[in-house]
């Protein structure tokens, strides 16, 4: 099987491994209804709407070849890279900016960091937020995000 240009050997090997897990007939194809599951197993997190759109494009295909799967993976991978992480995080925290002034309560930030996604310990959160909390217990979240992404 050929490696797609732009994919490292390690990623190509991971794709082959995951693909073979979903190849239920041993014919180097996977059922298209496993697309989302297989892509997520490789660390990408497309929305159900994105997966549905991809499946709609493949409406006449019942089983995906390795090459089709690699093309889809690479496309989704590039889309993920094109989203600026700082913007994505800021959008997520902006919900908690009740006054629209760029500040969120440090207690809210601590809660989010210890309960969602890759959960951090209280000590890790304290190390991250310590220098950003003002005397009123607020954090300028865009400064916080930029500093964390540079570490």
CATH number of the structural domain spanning residue 28: 1.10.238.10
Q: Same domain, yes or no, for 93 and 77?
A: no
Is the model more confident about 47 or about 7? 47
Total count of domains within the chain: 2
Predicted TM-score (pTM) of the model is 0.53
Last residue of a domain, one of 60, 81, 102: 81
Q: Same domain, yes or no, for 93 and 139?
A: yes
Last residue of a domain, one of 81, 107, 133: 81
Residue 102 structure tokens: 């760029």
Q: Are 23 and 59 in contact, with CB atoms under 8 Å apart?
A: no
* Structural domain that includes position 19: 9-81
Is the model more confident about 49 or about 4? 49
108-147 pLDDT, tens digit per residue, is 999 988 988 778 899 999 988 889 999 999 999 999 988 8
DSSP class of residue 34?
A: G
* Structure confidence at residue 81 (pLDDT): 62
Q: Same domain, yes or no, for 61 and 16?
A: yes
């Amino acid at each position: 099987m050929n490696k797609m240009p732009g994919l490292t050997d390690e990623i190509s090997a991971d794709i082959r491994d995951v693909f073979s897990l979903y190849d239920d007939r041993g014919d180097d194809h996977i059922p298209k209804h496993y697309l989302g599951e297989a892509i997520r197993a490789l660390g990408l997190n497309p929305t159900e709407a994105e997966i549905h759109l991809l499946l709609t494009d493949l409406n006449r295909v019942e089983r995906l070849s390795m090459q089709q799967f690699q093309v889809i993976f690479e496309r989704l991978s590039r889309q993920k890279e094109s989203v600026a992480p700082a913007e994505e995080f800021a959008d997520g925290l902006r919900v908690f900016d009740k006054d629209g002034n760029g500040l969120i309560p440090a207690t809210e930030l601590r809660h989010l960091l210890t309960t969602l996604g890759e959960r951090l310990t209280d000590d890790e959160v304290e190390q991250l937020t310590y220098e950003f909390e003002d005397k009123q217990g607020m954090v300028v979240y865009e400064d916080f995000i930029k500093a964390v992404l540079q570490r």
